[in-house]
Amino acid sequence: DVKVTQSSRYLVKRTGEKVFLECVQDMDHENMFWYRQDPGLGLRLIYFSYDVKMKEKGDIPEGYSVSREKKERFSLILESASTNQTSMYLCASSSSRRQGLSNYGYTFGSGTRLTVV
Amino acid sequence: AQSVAQPEDQVNVAEGNPLTVKCTYSVSGNPYLFWYVQYPNRGLQFLLKYITGDNLVKGSYGFEAEFNKSQTSFHLKKPSALVSDSALYFCAVRGVILTGGGNKLTFGTGTQLKVEL
């Protein structure tokens, strides 16, 4: 079964810590995305990547960075965690190929609920 | 720019009754449209998509959606609701023509569906 795996379901970190959220996909997808989800605000795009070592800012990149050294792995980094980064973080991937079942739709991971105290 | 509107934060329906969750979109050219469902503390799961062809699209768990180009709508429907359908539903859109890397989907803010006995 194809999937996107996020390394942690729940995470508690202290203010000022450097936090790494890991995401791995096994579908050979070119595109990977990081979103945060907050009540009433829906999904907001933080960063995305359409190729290895490529990254682009989304709508809310401040306070975050990303790394994509291998095609299957996309990491989100909180350089210095703050309480306003407490949120649900969702990773997703998609294919750029027109053929296949995806037709550009996303496959999501299960999410990481991060609490910064 | 592309956008999605889900005008209802919450929809309440009795079990066995039909349900509709509304979605309207704005995009340049022809759209790719998607519905996703999210259960508590989980990632988003794909329900159905409209790419081309019949305006009535059938998806998972008995859900269907009707594409209406003139009204730029893609409402999610189910003839008979179940309590287990209670979840958060997201509509998403992207244009057919690639405008840049990443194949980004734009999501609505979500509609909470509550099905009661």
Q: Are B105 and A43 in contact (CB under 8 A)?
A: no
CB contact under 8 A, A4 and B43: yes
Give the pLDDT confidence score for residue A88 in this predicted structure: 95
At residue A100 the predicted structure's pLDDT band, cuts being 50, 70 and 90, is very low
pLDDT digits (tens, 9 = 90+) for B64-91: 999 999 999 999 999 999 999 999 999 9
CA distance B27 to A15: 40
Exposed/middle/buried for A10, CB within 10 Å: 0-12, 13-18, 19+? exposed
Distance, first Cα to last Cα, chain A? 36
Number of neighbours of residue B108 by Cβ within 10 angstroms:
24
Return mean pLDDT, chain B: 90
CA distance B41 to B17: 27
Asked whether residue B98 carries a pLDDT value surpassing 60, the answer given is no
Asked whether residue A22 carries a pLDDT value surpassing 70, the answer given is yes
Q: What number is the average pLDDT over the span A72-89?
A: 97
**What is the count of structural domains for chain A?**
1
HEC per residue, chain B: CCEEECCCCEEEEECCCCEEECCEEECCCCEEEEEEEECCCCCEEEEEEECCCCCEEECHHHCEEEEECCCCEEEEEECCCCHHHCEEEEEEEEECCCCCCCCCCEECCCEEEEEEC
CA distances from A69 to A47, A66, B24, B66 (A): 15, 10, 38, 41
Q: Are A116 and A15 in contact (CB under 8 A)?
A: yes
Specify the fold of B3-116: Immunoglobulin-like (2.60.40)
Q: Out of A42-51, A91-100, B96-105, give the one with best mean pLDDT.
A: A42-51
pLDDT digits (tens, 9 = 90+) for A30-80: 889 999 999 888 899 999 998 898 899 998 999 999 999 999 999 999 999
**Which of A37-41, A87-91, B6-10, B20-24 bottoms out in mean pLDDT, i.e. has the lowest?**
A37-41
Smallest CA–CA distance, residue B110 to chain A, in Å, is: 6
Alpha carbon B25 to chain centroid, angstroms: 11
Asked whether residue B41 carries a pLDDT value surpassing 90, the answer given is no
Give the pLDDT confidence score for residue B56 in this predicted structure: 95
Q: Does B94 touch chain A (CB under 8 A)?
A: yes
Place of tokens 């990254």: A55
> Left if phi > 0, otherwise alpha if psi is -120 to 50, otherwise beta: which for A96?
alpha
In chain B, what are the domain boundaries?
Answer: 3-116
Give the pLDDT confidence score for residue B94 in this predicted structure: 83
> Left if phi > 0, otherwise alpha if psi is -120 to 50, otherwise beta: which for B53?
left
What CATH number is attached to the domain comprising A27? 2.60.40.10
Give the pLDDT confidence score for residue B28 in this predicted structure: 83
Q: What number is the average pLDDT over the span A80-101?
A: 84
**Please, which residues 17-76 of chain B have a Cβ atom closer than 8 Å to chain A?**
32, 34, 36, 41-46, 49, 51
Domain limits for position A17: 4-99+106-116
Output DSSP code: residue A24: E
Give the pLDDT confidence score for residue A105 in this predicted structure: 78
Give the pLDDT confidence score for residue A79 in this predicted structure: 94
Give the pLDDT confidence score for residue A87 in this predicted structure: 97
Give the pLDDT confidence score for residue B43 in this predicted structure: 86
Q: Which of B113, B111, B109 is nearest to B4 (CA)?
A: B109
Give the pLDDT confidence score for residue A95 in this predicted structure: 82
Smallest CA–CA distance, residue B96 to chain A, in Å, is: 10
Asked whether residue B15 carries a pLDDT value surpassing 90, the answer given is yes
